[in-house]
Amino acid sequence: MGPALKTLLFTFIAPGTVTVLLPYLIVSRTEAWPIGPFQYAGLPVLVAGVATYAWCAWSFAIKGLGTPAPIDPPKKLVVEGLYRYTRNPMYVGVLTILAGEVIWFVSPMLLVYAGVIACLFNAFVRLYEEPKLLDLFGGQYTAYRKEVPRWFVRL
């Protein structure tokens, strides 16, 4: 199975669970809010998040020759595309999807969930991913880390 197919499978399992299954379970079990015109502002946010994630996942498969899955990381360090502006655009994409869902569903519980996910992403990146990338790519990753911020987009 090639990297693109493995990335697609991983996307359905991990980000799919985080951005579709769990938000659905949260929203379906909480009080429904009235639909209003403000909710439509969530759609472009959601689409931007999906596009960000898709671009990054494609870059991992095609440029990095690997997947976003920790068990099958890219063989090459991906530092182009959105990775020129932030070291973690894929996570930013997932959080953007959640932000779009928070706006669309007007759900305080979904906002809390998104905050928990952001904290978990930050811990995972700091405690696992960054040390692993340092092991895999050494000085190349160290130089990249000095140039590109972890989360906030550098213009």
Residue 31, in any domain of the structure? no
Q: What is the pLDDT of residue 94?
A: 96
8-12 contacts: CB < 8 A, separation 24 or more? Answer: 10/67, 10/68, 10/69, 10/72, 11/53, 11/57, 11/68
CA-CA distance, 16 to 24, in Å (whole number)? 11
Residue 153, in any domain of the structure? no
Q: What is the pLDDT of residue 12?
A: 83
102, pLDDT greater than 90: yes
Q: How many domains does the chain have?
A: 1
- Residues 53 and 97 sit within 8 Å (Cβ to Cβ): yes
pLDDT tens digit sequence for 64-86: 888 888 778 788 888 888 999 99
Give the pLDDT band (50/70/90) at residue 37: confident
Domain that holds residue 140: 3-8+17-22+38-147
Residue 46, in any domain of the structure? yes
C-alpha distance from residue 124 to each of 37, 70, 77, 81, 120 (Å): 36, 11, 18, 23, 6
Residue 116, in any domain of the structure? yes
Residue 152, in any domain of the structure? no
Does the predicted TM-score (pTM) go above 0.75? yes
122, pLDDT greater than 90: yes
Q: What is the phi/psi pair of residue 138, to 5°?
A: 50, -125
